[in-house]
Amino acid sequence: MTKTLRIAVIGAGRMGADHIQRLNTRIHGAEVAAVVDVDLARAQAAIEGIPGAVALADAEEALGNGDVNAVLIATPGFLHEDILLKAIAKDIPILCEKPLTPDAGSAWKIVEAEEKLGHKRIQVGFMRRFDAEYAALGSVIRDGELGELLMLHHQHRNPTTPAGFTNEMLINDSVVHEFDAVRFFTGEEITSVQVRLGKATRNAPNGQHDPQHVLLETESGVLADVEIYVNAQFGYEVATQASLETGIVSIGNDTGPYVRTAGRWGGAVAPGFEARFGAAYDTEIQAWVDAALCGGIGGPSAWDGYATAACCEAGIEAQRTGGKVAVALKPKPALYA
Amino acid sequence: MTKTLRIAVIGAGRMGADHIQRLNTRIHGAEVAAVVDVDLARAQAAIEGIPGAVALADAEEALGNGDVNAVLIATPGFLHEDILLKAIAKDIPILCEKPLTPDAGSAWKIVEAEEKLGHKRIQVGFMRRFDAEYAALGSVIRDGELGELLMLHHQHRNPTTPAGFTNEMLINDSVVHEFDAVRFFTGEEITSVQVRLGKATRNAPNGQHDPQHVLLETESGVLADVEIYVNAQFGYEVATQASLETGIVSIGNDTGPYVRTAGRWGGAVAPGFEARFGAAYDTEIQAWVDAALCGGIGGPSAWDGYATAACCEAGIEAQRTGGKVAVALKPKPALYA
Amino acid sequence: MTKTLRIAVIGAGRMGADHIQRLNTRIHGAEVAAVVDVDLARAQAAIEGIPGAVALADAEEALGNGDVNAVLIATPGFLHEDILLKAIAKDIPILCEKPLTPDAGSAWKIVEAEEKLGHKRIQVGFMRRFDAEYAALGSVIRDGELGELLMLHHQHRNPTTPAGFTNEMLINDSVVHEFDAVRFFTGEEITSVQVRLGKATRNAPNGQHDPQHVLLETESGVLADVEIYVNAQFGYEVATQASLETGIVSIGNDTGPYVRTAGRWGGAVAPGFEARFGAAYDTEIQAWVDAALCGGIGGPSAWDGYATAACCEAGIEAQRTGGKVAVALKPKPALYA
Amino acid sequence: MTKTLRIAVIGAGRMGADHIQRLNTRIHGAEVAAVVDVDLARAQAAIEGIPGAVALADAEEALGNGDVNAVLIATPGFLHEDILLKAIAKDIPILCEKPLTPDAGSAWKIVEAEEKLGHKRIQVGFMRRFDAEYAALGSVIRDGELGELLMLHHQHRNPTTPAGFTNEMLINDSVVHEFDAVRFFTGEEITSVQVRLGKATRNAPNGQHDPQHVLLETESGVLADVEIYVNAQFGYEVATQASLETGIVSIGNDTGPYVRTAGRWGGAVAPGFEARFGAAYDTEIQAWVDAALCGGIGGPSAWDGYATAACCEAGIEAQRTGGKVAVALKPKPALYA
């Protein structure tokens, strides 16, 4: 057992830079050993003020660095497969930002590689599971005090989308969180996806159809739906309402200072995911570090990455056809049982 | 113009008795002149303490009573058609509890009879339009300050169902309110209905499948959905969340004294529709009385009764087939334009 | 017993006009028979469209009108004493807007006159007792489920004050409502008043010191305080927080549509007392009419008017001295026991 | 500059054990080097599983340990003075749980000793300043967008008190937090304290008079008050409502999952300060560690400890006399300007 994780962070973009800052100021038991970015200047800027950290342009070089004993992957998803396979070969702790890989086929290869390794090394960055209210709702459901879970209603709203955002990304980058959330809350796999396209906002650029209404079913028949609305203008909101046999539980309600001024009551809406889920990211990374120092993982596995990738594939087909599309999953390997 | 409505209330059951009490103590400009019930003893009990009111067993006799100049119909729906046609023939103000009639075919006959009469005499008892928050949401939508309405999400929850409640009644008696609400909020007709049946509560008696998830579309493509859950145990709740282009508006949130005791914060859930919508009923009846004294109607028309009956027929077929069922409407007569 | 109250409304200003409208459109069992105002044109405008009502310039003439069998007094407070004594002499139902009279001495004369009459004819317009949440808090306290009441914290905030508003009026016209509320919630008399004057807003005109912090004690030692802030700009708010032995109960919280737009969540603050307490006024007047038709009163008595006048006198002295001022009350006559 | 704080934690009771856990699992840049407790077994239990930490029975020995470069004092307050003076002599970073010392006289000696040292080494554990909502309210007040702060209303409620809790402790251990909060929000010193004793709960043991109503004034005349209620049974609550010139801001409102079940809506009240302020403690300790590694302090100073001790002395006299007691402060040394 190592006392401190010496982490190579691969990718120094928005998410990577956020994690570097987190590891360098708030996470106990971990340090940034290397930052890798194809843009070497960006990597160099990211390590400024971090004693003992090096900037590199090549992920393989970082994995080979004797000072590195763990890796956090924060590059765009299409680059994940190659780095993951090399890190699995090194048998070191891996935190991989979602998606595991962009499609179910490549995700399955990762699952197979890890299964062959024989123990879990990969934790996937579905950080919502570490949000205090998500965790609380999960407990309520599992405790069974309110009976069986019957329905889940999700709202997922962003103020605007970045340049180049597409209808496919609305599923792969946004709804993917709800695919994982539904799996987390129910403890079941999703069996089908349907997408309703109705009246669209005039504020969506680039041919995006926004909002969309996504309908899911799970193995036991739980009906879930997601109102995904990524150009909602007013701010960022992620909320869930669970219907159980003897009660309803809502999470993600607005909080913060309550103000009365200028004829209105209320408060400020979170402007983006950093404000809403910052604490969840901290908790996620700390859980990974704590588990990695003991040789395990502390959150969603490669199987979770694979299963959500299969949901995304079904979701994109459902967007295109309007019909209900079944989610096809291979049998779950024993490692993830 | 008459100064006071002298009303024959047809039906002295739960709803009728409630209206008699309302007319006799809180409504200005109206009085109970007669109460009709096939159970004459029930009619007699209902008029106790009301000076000048008579108890009768026959609706036709009440309509022929010279002291009666308006009628409020609160019998079971299958009895409405006959009374409505006779009251239309008398050309007096009519408030008819929903449904107008139980099916689109008979409702269309009422529309035709009123059209032939040449002016609107029938107001249908969709009282939610008179709830202060429903009215406020309607204003927000029409004002257009938050842009176009895009989606509507409805929750409709009852604690339990009365003996004999069926899956058809879940559409005809419960979701019918949301059919009207969606029409009210959008100002459009509903074009299709789909019903999802998933995991069911163990608390639903008599082979009811509960909850159900009902999906609606309107003429301009607004996507609406209804979580109907009639054995939800915890209490009564009717809420709506509207997504517009630049904001989200929710109505039906819990109110009342806010209590902290015994380790929890919160308040009491309304036990039933009387507590939740009592003020809306008062407002509805006063609006009808005020309009009737001026020769008109003050709320939903026979056309609204017909159009929702057509939605109910589609809804019941959708329950059976699982598919999306189109709502078929005849052209709207000029009287209701 | 009369079937309908035929009411003379004395005073057709803001409050009087509001009551005339209420009686003419929403109150069952009562009608406006006469409107009296020294400005006869204002009285004439007020009866427009009310069949059978007359406009007069003199209250005594109205009380002598054979068509009048009840009186609602809505003139400025300094005119109340004379009208009250004449109406008591007529032995007809009286609803008198608060204050009963402007000082404890003259209020005591009214109490004596009514006591001599031998039965209660005067109801005083402390309408907050008829607000649904006030009533609910009153029930919670009396039920004793949360133990004894220990403390009461009140917020009373107005957006602005009318021209001519003074520090004395802040006690006599505003805090007088809390004097009655504390008496209503505790069922006890107030024994002392203290007023704290601290940092003042720059938005208060005319030498008003605003806000002020008013401290009260009751017979059993309940500590109450009132944050009175009458130029608070943001809107109108009246709220109370009660501390009991095993819980805390709050009323007066914000309600209404919940909106998320432009980076904030929340809703609209009531602009004034009409929006906040409109339903309470309706309930108050209906309760008075119902009771008056049976020969009694349905709310606060002349004693309540006298006791709050004594509190106001103590409050104004407390404003001046900064010290704790005892409230002096004569023994309660048997009529009000 | 040292890379890691090696901390001696003095006192392994409830608060000390909590901080040891925090330092050992969540705080970046700090480690537990030693734990001191007169009960050596308790110290030994506390270091279990912490590599490199030693258990000691004597604080002086810990301060002399070459592996120790910082100290966190979590003993009862009456032991603080001696340890503080020794740690000041060592010129190492000090985090001292509140109170700095139990009375103004001894606190002033600490201020003088630090002033003589010439730089700030002592941070006092008023952790509420690190609560996200406290910080947000502080920002709102300083930003001036809502005008000047005029009044502050505080609620501070505990479920029960530990054995031996006294009326003096109610001021010294509980209200001391509000003394600091009022100073933090206003940026001013408190000039007087008054205590109102009214009706008391039957649930307070040991002759405690509970609740109490504490009235404060600041240099510019801001009126603050505190409802302190330490046997409130229902749970733990700390909330503040600030009245500004154009608005009201409330913090400390209930949050968490929103549940509807069994006829009620709401959620769970925090059972104690750990749940309510756990995140604030983490933030406080991380701020201290970050600042200490740069040679400074990251929160309330010894002056804050002294000034609140002077408020406590006035508060206890006010409890006894019922009158308004002035707070006497020596001039502020330049070090704290």
Number of CB pairs, chain B paired with chain C, less than 8 A apart: 77
CA distance B68 to chain C (A): 19
Round to whole Å and give the CA distance between C60 and C70. Answer: 13
C272 confidence band (pLDDT: 50, 70, 90): very high
Contact residues on chain D for A249, CB-CB shorter than 8 A: 257-260
Hey, of B227, B260, B261, B276, which one would you mutate to test binding to chain D, going by the most D CBs within 10 A of its CB? B260
pLDDT, one tens digit per residue, over B92-101 is 999 999 999 9
DSSP string for residues in C32-95: EEEEE-SSHHHHHHHHTT-TT-EEES-HHHHHH-TT--EEEE-S-GGGHHHHHHHHHHHT--EE
CB B86 within 8 A of CB B58: no
Q: Residue B2's pLDDT band (boundaries 50, 70, 90)?
A: very low
CB of B275 less than 8 A from some CB of D: no
Does the domain made of A5-128+279-301 have the CATH classification 3.20.20.70?
Answer: no
Determine, for residues B245 and A220 on separate chains, whether the beta-carbon distance falls below 8 Å: no
- Whether residue D1 is predicted with pLDDT greater than 70 in this model: the reply is no
Q: Are residues B220 and A233, on separate chains, in Cβ contact within 8 Å?
A: no
Q: Tens digits of per-residue pLDDT, B74-86?
A: 999 999 999 999 9
- Contact assessment for residue C311 and residue C226, using Cβ atoms and an 8 Å cutoff: no
Q: Do A203 and B245 touch (CB under 8 A)?
A: yes
Residue B53 contacts C, CB cutoff 8 Å = no
Q: Where are the beta strands (DSSP E) in chain C?
A: 5-10, 30-36, 54-56, 70-73, 94-96, 122-124, 149-157, 190-196, 212-218, 223-229, 237-244, 247-251, 258-261, 264-268, 325-326
Q: C3 pLDDT band (50/70/90 cuts)?
A: confident
For a pLDDT cut of 90, what percent of chain D falls above it?
Answer: 99
> Which chain B residue shows the shortest CA-CA distance from C257?
B251
Residue A29 C-alpha, separation from nearest chain D C-alpha, in angstroms = 7
- Determine the pLDDT at residue A84: 98
Contact B192, B182 (CB under 8 A): no
* Percent of residues, chain D, with pLDDT higher than 70: 99
Pair A137, A251: CB distance under 8 Å = yes
As a whole number, mean pLDDT of residues C48-56 equals 96
Confidence of residue B3 (pLDDT cuts 50, 70, 90): confident
Question: In this structure, are residues A27 and A289 in contact, taking their beta carbons and an 8 Å threshold?
Answer: yes
Distances (CA, A) of A96 to A76, A291, A309, D121: 11, 15, 14, 42
Pick the more confident residue, A1 or C18. Answer: C18
Say whether D223 and C157 touch across the interface (CB within 8 A). no
Q: Closest Cα of chain D to B270: distance in Å?
A: 7
- The mean predicted confidence, pLDDT, of chain D is 97
Q: How confident is the model at residue C2 (pLDDT cuts 50, 70, 90)?
A: very low
- CATH number for the domain running over C5-127+279-300: 3.40.50.720
| Confidence check: pLDDT of B109 > 60 | yes
| A69 vs D2, more confident | A69
| Closest Cα in chain D, distance from residue A336 (Å) | 28
| Mutate which: B141, B241, B248, vs A, most A CBs within 10 A | B248
Distance from CA of B126 to the nearest CA of C (A): 20
Where does D132-273+308-329 sit in CATH, by number? 3.30.360.10
pLDDT tier for residue C221 given thresholds of 50, 70 and 90:
very high
pLDDT at A206: 84
Contacts of D200 in chain C (CB under 8 A): 150, 221
Does residue C272 sit at the A interface (CB-CB below 8 Å)?
A: no
Q: Is the pLDDT of residue B1 over 80?
A: no
Q: Is the pLDDT of residue D3 over 90?
A: no
CATH class of A129-276+307-336: alpha beta
- Is-cis flag, bond preceding C102, omega within 30? no
Which residue in A253, A258, A290 has the most chain D C-beta atoms within 10 A of its own C-beta, making it the best mutation to test that interface? A258
- For residue D2, name the pLDDT band (cuts at 50, 70, 90): very low
- Computed on alpha carbons and rounded to an integer, the radius of gyration of chain D in Å comes to 20
Residues 6+ apart with CB under 8 A from D170: D208, D210, D212, D228, D230
Q: How many helices (H) and strands (E) does chain D have?
A: 10, 15
Chain A contact for B35 (CB, 8 A cutoff): no
Which CATH number applies to D5-128+279-302? 3.40.50.720
> What percentage of chain A reaches a pLDDT higher than 90?
99
- What was the pLDDT predicted at A2? 45
Å from D314 to nearest chain A CA? 31
Give the mean model confidence (pLDDT) for residues A278-306.
97
User: What are the two backbone dihedrals, phi and then psi, of residue C258, each rounded to the nearest 5 degrees?
Assistant: -105, 120
* pLDDT value of position A124: 98
Per the CB < 8 Å rule, is C259 touching B246? no
Tell which residue, B222, B219, B223, has the closest CA to residue B189.
B219
What band does C1 get if pLDDT is binned at 50, 70 and 90? very low
For residues C277-299, average pLDDT? 97
Q: Residue D75 in 3-state DSSP?
A: coil
What is the rounded distance in angstroms from the CA atom of residue B62 to the CA atom of residue B65?
5
Q: Locate the chain B residue with the closest alpha carbon to C293.
A: B25
**Which of A17-21, B184-188, B203-207, C88-92 shows the lowest per-residue confidence on average (mean pLDDT)?**
B203-207
Compute the distance between CA of residue D73 and CA of residue D76 in angstroms, rounded to an integer. 9
Rounded to whole angstroms, the Cα distance separating B15 from A165 reads: 54
- Each residue's pLDDT tens digit, D113-155: 999 999 999 999 999 999 999 999 999 999 999 999 999 999 9
Q: Where residue D206 falls among pLDDT bands split at 50, 70, 90? A: confident
Fold identical between C5-127+279-300 and C129-273+307-326? no
Whether B235 sits inside 8 A of D263 (CB atoms) is yes
pLDDT at B229 over 60: yes
One-letter identity of residue B166: T
- Non-local (6+) Cβ contacts of B201 within 8 A are A147, A148, A150, A245, B210, B211, B229, B231, B232
pLDDT in tens, B11-29: 999 999 999 999 999 999 9
Does residue D147 sit at the C interface (CB-CB below 8 Å)?
A: yes
The DSSP bridge partners found for residue B237 are: B157
Q: Give the DSSP H or E segment for D83.
A: helix D80-90
pLDDT tens-digit profile of B34-55?
A: 999 999 999 999 999 999 999 9
Mean pLDDT of chain C: 97
pLDDT of residue A3: 81
CATH architecture of C129-273+307-326: 2-Layer Sandwich (3.30)
B319-336 confidence digits (pLDDT tens): 999 999 999 999 999 999
The 8-class DSSP code of residue D335 comes to G
Angle between helices A14-25 and A273-293 in degrees, nearest 10: 60
Query: In Å, how far is C255's CA from the nearest CA of chain B?
Result: 7
D160 touches chain B (CB under 8 A): no
Take residue D34 and report the two structure tokens written for it.
């030693």
- Find the mean pLDDT for residues D66-91: 97
Name the pLDDT band for B219 (thresholds 50, 70, 90).
Answer: very high
C173: which DSSP letter?
I
Please answer yes or no on whether D263 and B271 come within 8 Å at the CB atom. yes
Residue A162 has pLDDT above 80, yes or no: yes
Q: What tokens appear for D59 in the block? A: 């604080």
What count of CB pairs under 8 Å joins B to D?
Answer: 56
C270 pLDDT tier (thresholds 50, 70, 90): very high
Residue recorded with tokens 């409330």: D250
pTM over 0.90: yes
For C:241-260, CB contacts with B below 8 A are 246-251, 253, 255-260
Write down the pLDDT at residue B206: 84
CA dist C195 and C179 (Å) reads 13
Q: Do residues B71 and B93 lie in contact, with contact meaning Cβ atoms separated by under 8 Å?
A: yes
Range 182-241 of D in CB contact (< 8 A) with B: 233-235, 237
Q: What is the CATH number of domain B5-127+279-301?
A: 3.40.50.720
Other CB atoms within a 10 A radius of the CB of residue B25 amount to 12
**Where along chain B do its domains lie?**
5-127+279-301, 129-276+307-336
Record: contact C248-B262, CB cut-off 8 A: no
**CA–CA separation, B69 and D76 (whole Å):** 84
